[in-house]
Each structure stands twice: as C-alpha cells, then as structure tokens.
Structure 1
Amino acid sequence: MTDKQLTTTAGAPISDNQNSQTAGERGPVLMQDYQLIEKLAHQNRERIPERVVHAKGWGAFGALKITEDISKYTKAKSLQKGATTPMLARFSTVAGELGAADNERDVRGFALKFYTEDGNWDLVGNNTPVFFLRDPYKFPDFIHTQKRHPKTNLRSAEAMWDYWSLSPEALHQVTILMSDRGCPTTPMQMNGYGSHTFSLINDQNERFWVKFHFKTQQGHAHLTNAQSAAKIGETREGYQEALFGTIENGDFPKWTMQIQVMAEEDAEKAAFNPFDLTKVWPHADYPCITIGEFELNRNPENYFAEVEQAAFSPSNIVPGVGFSPDKVLQARLFSYADAHRYRIGTHYEALPVNAPKCPVHHYHKDGNMNFMGQQTGNSDAYYEPNSVAGAPREDATQAEPPLKISGDADRYNHRDGNDDYSQARALHDLFDEGQRARLYANTAEAMQGAKADTIERVLAHYDQISPAYGKGIRAARKALNA
C-alpha cells in the first residue's frame, strides 16, 4: 500500500516533519516556518475545558433492541417492539478530574445517546436510582463539597460531611455510596438508571410517568476500599482497560432495559412525591417491566473525537418521550446543553459523534465553527415565519399534552414535610450482616478528617434512620481510631 502524503491543515504537502527552518545550522528559527507554527499553535489548543462533573469517562458504541410491546405507553419509534437503534454509552466518575483514578469510591455516570430516526434521545443518568438532592438550587453547593478546598487544594471530608449533616435528603444516596455498590469493579458490572421521572406519551396523547432501569447482565462485582486502593496502585485506568479490552476481545457486555410506569393521575394520589430525585418508587407498587436490552460492541476509533467531545443532555428527547415536574431534571434541561456550548462550542451538536442520523432543519445562524452552513435547505429561509417554498415549518401534531400538575409559583421549602429517613432505613435493613459491617466501615473511613461536631451532627441523622445504623458507624469509628 502506498503511504499517504503528509500535509498541513490547508492541504499543502510537507517535505520535512523532523526539522525546523533556521537561519543556518546554529541560527534562530524563522518566522516563515508556517508548518512549525501551525504544529505548535495546534498543540496549545488540543485540550478543551473538562467537564465540571463527570470529567473522567469511558465510552463505547452499540445498539438498543426492544423485544416487548409497550405501544400502549409510548409512540416513540425507538421503543416499539422489534426496533433496533444505534447508540453510544459513556460511563464516568462524578467527583474526580480528567486525570483521576478510575476505581475510586464514587457515584458513576451512566449516559446513553440513542440515534433514532426522529432525532437523538439522550438518557443521562447514574448507576444509582436516586441522587443527593431534590432541589437544583443546591447542586452547585453540593458539587463544591466534592471538589478541592480553595485554600488547601485538597478534597475536604469536613466540607462533605458538614454539607450532608445539614442536608438529610442526601443520606439515601450516601448509604448507597458507602455500601458495596459504591465502588463497582468495572463499568460492565453495574446497573444504570435514568434516576429522574420522565414521561411516556402514546398515540392517544395519554401521558404516563416512567422510570428507566438498565440491569447489568454481567453480574454485580464491587471492590472494598482496600481492594480499590490496591487496584489504583496497579493502574489509574482500570475502567478504560476493562471496557476497551472486553469489547476488543469480542466479549460484548449487555444490559436489560426495564421501566416502571405510573398513570399520570396517580402522581397526585401517591403517598410520596414521585418527582423527588432522592426517592425510589416501591417495586411492589410499580414493578419493573422488561422491554429489551442494549449491547456495546464497538470501541471508538478516536477517544477525543467520540468520547471526550460526546455531548449528552436530557433536553434531547423524541416524540413519545417527555419530561416531568422533577425540579432537578428541569434545571438539567438547561445546564447540560449550556455546558456543552461553553465546553465544545456553539455548534457542538453538528460534530459527528453528536449529530443526529435524521435530517436536521433549523434557523440557528452563524456562531463559532459553523461548518455546516444553512440548515433550512434554502438560503432565503434564514428567519421564521417566512413564505419561502419548502422552508422548515412547525408541526402542531408533535405537541405534547399539557401537564396536569400545577400550583402557585413560589419558593417551596423542599425539606418541610419530607421524610428523608424511611427509604434509607429500608435500604439499610435489606443489607445482610456483612454488607452492614462494610457500610459502617466505609462511612467511618470517609469521615476521617471531618470535625467532631460535624460528625456528631450527621450521626444524629443516622440514628433517626436506624439506631443500629448510628451505633454501627460509631463502633467502626472507634475501631478505626483505636
């Protein structure tokens, strides 16, 4: 095979890619060496801002296959029985920076992009069915506790536990984080969840509330804190090695897709707030329904282009899928897309990994890196409404039914009248003796470095979850500090 000609970005052939142009063998470099300047200038711009959260991630491509009929719940074409939809999955840690170790105890991001015939559908969740907060106003504050102290530039156990001691709604998620499932061995050995409540809308314009679950078919496997430390001592890239190697070897991982469904009118009758991100829906009342599975079977050819530049946003939905009054979801509809516009650029969704596989027609104009030109198909159609023949038009048939839940606009105290203990208690009580012992030990270890009064404040919450929970952590702390 004949080698390709090396060129500049403008296509000019390069005769020497080893040596700079200089004024004589020992003279200074010449400004006219545009090839050197291009190379150095590009290197200075090779990095883009990392994600504020979920910076360290691992991704692969595959396909979603729907095996069951749920047309009574949704008209989404990609969720009809027999549908196969190409997809991209990205797994990630939450707190760590781009160079952080993979196998730390942390919540894992579980982001899925489905390239449907009606546009991209992004389901951006975690490996936990709940999260640390129910009001998005607290999200920046919470994330600050997971990042570095502004003076020490170190992680702060005091900040983390001080915040949690004053935010009991977080303790359900903290219990999961400090349990065995807080440190999955590989991306293939953990579940994924949409976490939020979403909508499904059928052909009759009926809305159903839905929770999305993705259950691993590889079985669960987890590391203890000691095993995690040993693994990180061996490699900081454990997840990348595991995911890439597994797929490269032809052993394609799979997840079973399930949904929980609630009738729209039942939301007003439920004993709990079905839009509260700190709560799960009881499976006895809303059983998981298996509807299909997805398989990951192709590694990216270029990590930066296809994983680092991959942009997921819950605002990307398709006909038949919609939102809910979940407060945190509503805020994410803005913040995720806005983060990508800042991090990647105005036209981030035109990049190949983010571009829909269906025709795209919009009136967004100009902006940095507009390399696709006019998206209306006609240069005269650059505003709307217009009378240009064949120009893109709105389609009233695609409107969703209005939400039936409403109330007076106000700032409601999300902690008033909320039970932040019973679901954490139910989870604690599900654990066997060994799982509880590890939960107590992991929590006690994580408290190292926090102030004594902060620890007592948070232990008071654990006592309310269960006296055994608080007692177990105290005993683990005593053993740790003996």
Structure 2
Amino acid sequence: MAVEERSAQQTVPAGTAPAADAKQEQLAPYRMDKTDTRLTTDQGIPVDDTDNSLKAGPRGPSLLEDFHLREKIMRFDHERIPERVVHARGSGAHGYFQPYGDGLAPYTAARFLTDPDVRTPVFVRFSTVQGSRGSTDTPRDVRGFATKFYTEEGNFDLVGNNMPVFFIQDGIKFPDLVHAVKPEPHHEMPQASSAHDTFWDFVSLQPETMHHVIWLMSDRALPRSFRTMQGFGVHTFRLVDAEGRSTFVKFHWTPLAGVHSLIFDEAQKISGKDPDFNRRDLWESIEAGVYPEYELGVQLIPEQDEFAFADFDLLDATKIVPEELVPVSPVGRMVLDRNPDNFFAETEQVAFCVGNVVPGIDFTDDPLLQARLFSYLDTQLTRLGGPNFAQIPINRPVAPVRHHQQDGFHQDDIPLGQANYHPNSTGGGCPFVPGAGTFPEAFTHRPELVDGHKMRKRAETFADHYSQATLFWNSMSAWEREHIVAAYRFELGKVAYPHIRERVVAHLNRIDNTLATAVAAGIGVAAPEAVSVNHGGSSPALSQAGQPLATIAGRRVAVLAADGVAAAGIAGLKEFLEANDAVLDVLGLVDGVVRTAEGGTLPVTRAMVTAASVLYDAVVVPDGDEAVSQLIGDGLALQFVAEAYKHAKPLIVLGLGDRMVEAARLPVYATSDRVEGESSKPIAAALDGVVFLAPGAQVDDRFTKDVFEAIAAHRHYDRPVDGIAA
C-alpha cells in the first residue's frame, strides 16, 4: 500500500486562494482596531482617567457609580479560566498543512489529505502533561502534540502525544492515572514530577503501564524543543473512502529538524535558568523565520488484517505497530509560520476534542479512545464556561456553521429567523439534513455489526504487558540504555516505600533481567533472578541514535568572549552559521562590547552571567591570547565549557582557545606539557564533537563541514565524562 512519495517541487497553483488567508479574514473582526488608540471600556466608551477611582473628594470613599472602576476590577477578578487538569502548560503556533499528492485518495474521502492544491490552516498546541500552568517546560514528562485542522468540511482535531503509546488500555482508569501522577493530595507535592510514591504505587499495580513507563524513563520524555519532537495520534483510527470502505490508520508527525532530546541533568538546570525554554524556542524560531516543519506519515492496515498481528491488538493503546511490520508512508507536510497574537485568546482558549472528525476519518472501538470522545467535550464545557466555546475565534471552523443550537453562556452569534427547530417550514426547512446515502457530503458513521454480552472485561489480546517494553529496551543504543537505568534509579530513589521499589523491579525483570538488575543495584533492592527470556526483537525506528545529519537550522551556539578576542574566526563562523539558519550569541564576561585583537570592538549579545551552557546547542571557545587568559581565570567561563562537554555538546575550539579546553581538564589532551603561546594537539579524532581550528588558520569549507556535522549530530555520547566536575 505505497502512498505517493513526497514531491520536493510541490506548489499551490497560481490563483488558488489558500485557506489560511480565509482563516485570517475570519479572525480579523475580533482583533483590536489599532487606528484608534484611545482607552475605552468594554462598551467602547473612552475614559478620561484609569489611574484614579471616582471618589467623594480626594480622600473620600469610592462611588458605586464609577462604572470604569467596577468593570476594570470585575474583568481582573475573572480574567483567569480554570486551567486544564492535564496539559495545562502549553505553547501554540499557527501554520498550514498540505498533502504531497493524492496518494491517500484510495483510502479516504477527506480532501485535505488527498488534494495537493489544498493548503489547510492549522493551529498546534504543544504541552507538558503533569504540571500546572506555572510549572516548567523541561520536566521528565509526556508532551502533548495537538493539531487543529480548519478543513473545508469542518474542524478535525488530531490530539496526540510525543510518545506513540499510553499508560492505560481503558479510559475508565484515566482518573486514577492522573490522580496518581499529580501532586499528592495531603501536601500538594511534588509539582510536575512522576518521582513520588503515588505514581509508582499505581503503575506497579497496573502492569499495562510498563510499556509507556519505559518510554517515560527514556530521553523521549526530555525533548530538546518542540521543533525536534515527534508526535503520534496514539490510537488506531479509520480512513474511509468515498464508497464507505475503511482502512485502519496510525498517524505520525516527524520533525524535519530531527528528533533530539536533553540530558536529565541539563533539563533540571534549564528549569532554573529558563523555565520557558521550549516555549521561548518555538516563539523565537518562528519570529526569526526558521519555521518548524513536520512530515505527516501514516501506517495503513487493511481491515481484513485487523487480527493479523499475533503479538498485539490494534485497539490496544499501550502498543505500537512496529514499522518493520507496517512502514510509515509520508503523505504531507505541516509548517508552523505564525505566532499567536494573544496567548490567552488563542493558546489558552483553544479547545481540542477527539470527537472532532470530518468525512473520511472515523473511530475504532479502542476503549481508551471511546472514553476520550466523552471526556474532551465534557472538559471544554466546564473550562470555557458553556456550550458555545466553538464560537471563540481560535475554535471557529472555516466551514460555515448552521444548526438550531441556541442560547447559553457566551452566545456570540446572532441567529436570524424564527425557526430554531427541525423539521420546520417557517424557515424554508433550512438548514436541511442531507440524509442517508450522502457520504462524503455529510459525515456518516460507518455501519458496523456490534454484537456481544454486556460485561466489564478486557480482551485476551490485550493481556501481554511486557513484550513491547522489551522491544523498546532492545532497540536502544548503549547510551540510551544508560539514561533509562539512571532515570529509573532517580525516580524510584524518590519513593519512600521499599515494597513499591521491589514491585517495580519485579516488573522490570519481566522486561529484561539486565535492566532490572542495573536498576535494583541503585535503589537498594536485591538483584532478581531471571524469570523470562528476552525475545531478542528490536526496532531501529525506536532509537534516537544514528539519525541522518540533515540540518542545523534553529540551533543556538554560544561563543565566549573577553577583551583581546580574535574576531576574524568568529566572523567567519557567524557568517556560516547564519547562512544555515543557526544563531550565534556572543557571551562576554560583562555586557556591552569587547575589544578585539585586531583593534576593533565586538558587540556582546549578553553577559555570561545571564546565560548558561544548558541553553545552547554548541559552544565556541575563541582565539586570542589575552582573551583566553581572561576566560581561563573566570570560574564561570571554565564551568561553561566543562558543562557543555559533559552534556555531550559540540565544542568548536579556535586557535589558542585549546588552552582553555585544557584548563577545564577535559580528556581531549594526552599531556599538559605546553610551550607558552603554542597550541597542543588533541589525542585522537575519535573524541568526536570537538572541532579545532589551528592558530592562524582560516575558516574554510573543510572546517565548516566539520562544524556542521558536529552540530547536526546534536550530541556526542561516547565521550568519557564521568570525571568532569560540572
């Protein structure tokens, strides 16, 4: 079932009005008129003073008739809406989606997926799951990846996560899961963390969680940015063609910038240095014109193959369909090219509902999906104050809306006519119902025979809770496994009850004895005897190692600077990086400018004390004898370089800057012997990710090629870093 491959030359024909423009026109009436700058009330009444309330004399009581005071205080009192129970902390962006071709036409009647001339506007909201709105961007957590497609047939919401599986199989367990992972009720701690007793007590008593938990303990729970994070629809959906035939589908988003993660130590430090790290990265990238791009891929399974997989059930949300069994076919591209005009009006008020589907897309009987169909709508009714939340501009479809629903809180439309019921003759029978047999002009639930006894029971095909967790573990590289073991040790080290630790280790032993033994050794639990044999299967697609070196767009690079810095190498490097859409920040010992070795000045982006290595993807150590001597004498600068090295980040070392690398005691040199003013040599090229430019050498193509490859690789985890004091 090959889907048409991506066309690099795909364009919209001249004269085609993009739907994104229609969305902009639709939102225009709701934006403030910037031509009249007078301060007014909600009713448009200009006010003469907004600093002093109306009083009976300068020291007298405030008067009830001060309508501006009453309105201003009332609006302030009510300017917060209830935050989301989960996914409270989020960041959003506008953009568009466009299919590569008509390769999905045999499978779905949804035109936005099959017509390459249709450019569908989208709004995407990324989020953390556990924490409140005031938490941080970089905890160990699942990330939400929700996309609202404003299609010509109505809004389609693909509400997913950055992991392709979920903790539980049946939605009836969702309240228990959320209660367990949220702060414990007796003292409301910890915030935005799964490292506590109630979460691990719950998962150790629910073996179905084991697959998702090992994803959570992996680097997938620490994405470098929303731009470098995958997204998944999680559930199995249906595509339905114009004749009503269905095909099972799994949705995948893949970032074109690559899939990259943070190290846990780095993520923890970022939480203190910049709690808005991921949100700021998304905003600044779009403002700079380095637009995040994602490819939509699908796994298609013929309906007759529903039971063809012996090891898992398509309706089990705790399982993946391995790509070795069903490849992911690319079908379109999404570009995020505009930031919201107002965070509250758009990012905070956007309402995603799993039940928002369009003709050509339908549901399955996944018991977690079935519960979400109810839960999302019910949540929006409470959070957004009533049933008219679809009239909020960010939620309004571009498709015309005609129905007989009326009244309620926040009714913004003004319905016309006297008929508010169906059928009617006073309104000419409008709006009319297309009726049966009009698919795909109208959404029609796919006819399906449902037969069975009413019972509370799981299917036997949902019973295997360990094989795919083993598949994930087997698929990891050596450094990914080390990070997983360290994560389990950290999380379980926060658990006070020994019996909970022991239960988790017993589950890990069902996944892999080596994993269980390594975790047990760090948390005071006896090493378990093997109780099962690792099946040996793996799936390379699950690992973040070995990605192609595609781009450095959006990467942030810090160059350290002090008086006497050699500007020539920095200038050449800056030109190369900016030509590849990367960002170079000059960090000085103080703010302002630094004097260069050539006699000029170099502007400082910011003082080093206001930054940190954890906020950058690579670090440049400059040339210049005087500058290097000053940087070596500054503990913060030395720590900056050592920490970047320890976190496996690329180091670009210019000329005499290698003296600073040696002073930071990095294991790149075989000896500390040095003739004053001369450069030492690295022991071996095998210590990759450290790129040297010899003193006096020019920034040439060979050097910039090495720089590109070092930064594009993101991290270099084979370094010996245990002895680095950072």
Band of TM-score, shorter chain:
over 0.9
CA displacement at 1:412 relative to structure 2: 0.8
Question: What code does the residue aligned with 2:341 have?
Answer: E
Q: Is 325-334 or 12-21 further displaced after alignment?
A: 12-21
Q: Displacement, 1:218?
A: 1.0
CA positional deviation for 1:390: 4.6
Q: Report what 2:632 is aligned to.
A: none
The corresponding residue for 2:389 is: 348
- Which one of the candidate residues 75, 83, 102 is aligned to 2:109? 75
Match of 1:223 among 229, 239, 262: 262
1:385 equivalenced with 2:423 (yes/no): yes
Q: Distance in 2 between matches of 1:404 and 1:466?
A: 41
Residue of structure 1 equivalent to 2:180: 145
Q: Give the C-alpha shift of residue 187 in structure 1.
A: 0.8
Q: CA deviation at 1:303?
A: 0.5
2:457 corresponding residue in structure 1: 412
After superposing the two structures, state which structure 1 stretch, 266-275 or 417-426, moved more.
266-275
Preserved contact between residue 295 and residue 333 of structure 2 (Cα < 8 Å)? yes
Do the aligned partners of residues 167 and 416 (structure 1) sit closer, same or farther apart at CA in structure 2, a change above 3 Å counting?
Answer: farther
Question: Which of 398, 401, 405 lines up with 1:357 in the alignment?
Answer: 398
Structure 1 pair 337/443, CA: closer, same or farther in 2 (3 Å)?
same
- Contact 1:70 1:81 survives alignment (8 Å): no
The within-5 A match list for 1:192-271 is 192-271=231-310
Q: Take 1:316 and 1:302, find their aligned partners in 2: how far apart are those partners?
A: 24
User: Which of 196, 202, 206 does residue 163 from structure 1 map onto?
Assistant: 202
AA of the residue aligned to 2:383: R
**2:498 counterpart (434, 438, 452):** 452
Tell me how far apart the structure 1 counterparts of residues 177 and 37 of structure 2 sit (CA, whole Å). Answer: 51
Q: Distance in 1 between matches of 2:372 and 2:278?
A: 26
Q: Distance in 1 between matches of 2:231 and 2:383?
A: 25
1:411, CA displacement in angstroms? 0.9
Whether the 8 Å CA contact 2:316–2:462 is kept in 1: the answer is: no
Structure 1 window deviating more from structure 2 (144-153 vs 383-392): it is: 383-392
Match of 1:268, SS state, is coil
- Residues 133-180 of structure 1, C-alpha deviations (whole Å, 9 max, x = no match): 001110000000111211111136111111111111111111111111
1:466 matches 2:512 = yes
Match in the other structure for 1:329: 369
Instruction: Report the CA distance between 1:3 and its aligned residue.
Output: 5.1
> Does the 8 Å CA contact 2:313/2:462 hold for their aligned counterparts?
no
Rounded Cα–Cα distance in structure 2 between residues aligned with 1:428 and 1:149:
30
The residue type paired with residue 413 of structure 1 is R
Distance change >3 Å, CA 116–CA 3, structure 1 → 2:
closer
Q: Determine helix, strand or coil for the equivalent of 2:396.
A: coil
Equivalent residue, structure 2, for 1:177: 216
Partner of residue 473, structure 2: 428
What is the rounded CA distance, in whole Å, between the counterparts of 2:186 and 2:347 in structure 1?
Answer: 32
- What is the alpha-carbon distance in structure 2 between the residues aligned to residue 400 and residue 414 of structure 1? 24
Deviation by residue 1:234-270 (Cα, 9 ceiling, x = unmatched): 0111111100000001000101110001111211343
- Aligned length in residues: 476
Assess, with a 3 A threshold, how the Cα gap between structure 1 residues 204 and 2 changes in structure 2: closer, same or farther: closer
Q: Which runs of 5+ in 1 are unaligned?
A: none
Q: 1:161·1:454 contact (CA, 8 Å) conserved in 2?
A: yes
Q: C-alpha distance in 2, partners of 1:208/1:231? A: 44
Alpha carbons 1:90, 1:307 under 8 Å: kept? yes
Q: Which amino acid is 2:362 matched to?
A: G
Q: Is structure 2 residue 89 aligned with structure 1 residue 42?
A: no
Deviation at 1:443, TM superposition (A): 1.0
1:478 deviation in Å? Answer: 5.3
Q: Determine which of 48, 71, 84 is the counterpart of 1:51.
A: 84
Corresponding residue for residue 136 of structure 1: 171
- Indicate the residue corresponding to 1:290 in structure 2: 330
Aligned 8 A contact 2:289 2:337 in 1: yes
Give a deviation string over 1:362-400, Cα, whole Å, max 9, x none: 1112111112032xxx52321112234151122221323
Paired letter, 1:348: F
Distance in 1 separating the partners of 2:291 and 2:466: 39
Provide, for residues 9-67 of structure 1, a one-character-per-residue CA deviation record: whole Å limited to 9, x for no partner: 11222011221112222222222211111101110000000000000000000000100
Letter in 1 for 2:144: G
Native 8 Å contact 2:313 2:461 kept in 1: no
Give the corresponding residue for 1:127: 162
Distance 1:327 1:33 in 2: 55
The answer to whether residue 95 in structure 2 is matched with residue 62 in structure 1 is yes
Cα-to-partner distance string for 1:341-378 (whole Å, 9 max, x where unaligned): 1110320001100000011111112111112032xxx5
Per-residue CA distance 1:295-325 (angstroms, 9 max, x = gap): 1000000000011000001100000011111
Distance 1:389 1:31 in 2: 50
Distance of aligned partners of 1:381 and 1:372 in 2 relative to their CA distance in 1, 3 Å threshold: same
Letter in 2 for 1:475: A
Alignment partners' CA distance in 1, 2:89 and 2:460: 32
| 8 A Cα contact 2:180 2:202, kept in partner | yes
Q: CA deviation at 1:225?
A: 1.7
The question of whether the paired residues in 1 share the 8 Å contact of 2:422 and 2:429 is answered with: no
Q: What is the deviation of 1:2? A: 6.9
CA distance in 2, matches of 1:265, 1:373: 49
Q: 1: distance between equivalents of 2:460 and 2:229?
A: 31
Kindly state the Cα deviation for residue 409 of structure 1 after the two structures are TM-superposed: 2.5
Q: 2:66 aligns with which of 9, 13, 33?
A: 33
The structural deviation recorded for 1:423 is: 0.3
Q: How far apart, in 2, do the equivalents of 1:401 and 1:369 lie? A: 34
Question: Is 1:320 aligned with 2:360?
Answer: yes
Residue 432 of structure 1 deviates from its aligned partner by 1.6
Q: Which amino acid aligns with 1:353?
A: I
Q: Distance in 1 between matches of 2:461 and 2:330?
A: 36
Are 2:509 and 2:515, in contact at CA under 8 Å, matched by a contact in 1?
yes
**AA in 1 matched with 2:389:** Y
Residue pair 1:109, 1:126 contacting (<8 A) in 2 also:
yes
Query: Which region of structure 1 is more displaced relative to structure 2, 358-367 or 386-395?
Result: 386-395
Change (3 A) 1:414 1:204: closer
> Deviation of residue 193 (structure 1)?
0.4
Q: Does 1:366 align with 2:411?
A: no
Aligned partner of residue 353 in structure 1, secondary structure: helix
Provide closer, same or farther for how the CA distance between residues 270 and 471 of structure 1 changes in structure 2, counting only shifts above 3 A.
Answer: same
Q: Where do 1:92-107 residues align within 5 Å? A: 92-107=127-142
The one of 279, 304, 321 equivalent to 2:344 is: 304
C-alpha distance in 2, partners of 1:368/1:217? 42
Question: CA separation in 2, counterparts of 1:200 and 1:465?
Answer: 34
Distance 2:217 2:309 in 1: 29
2: CA distance, partners of 1:33 / 1:328? 52
Q: Please point out which of 213, 220, 227 is paired with 1:188.
A: 227
Contact between 1:437 and 1:472, CA under 8 Å: does it hold in 2? Answer: no
* Aligned match for 2:150, one of 109, 115, 128: 115
The residue that corresponds to 2:49 in the other structure is: 16
Sequence identity percentage: 39
| Range 401-410 or range 206-215, more displaced | 401-410
Equivalent position SS for 2:197: helix
SS in 2 for 1:445: helix
Query: Which stretch of the first structure deviates more once superposed, 286-295 or 385-394?
Result: 385-394
In the other structure, the counterpart of 2:556 is none
- Structure 1: distance between partners of 2:179 and 2:77: 29
Distance 1:416 1:459 in 2: 25
- Residue type of the alignment partner of 1:90: R
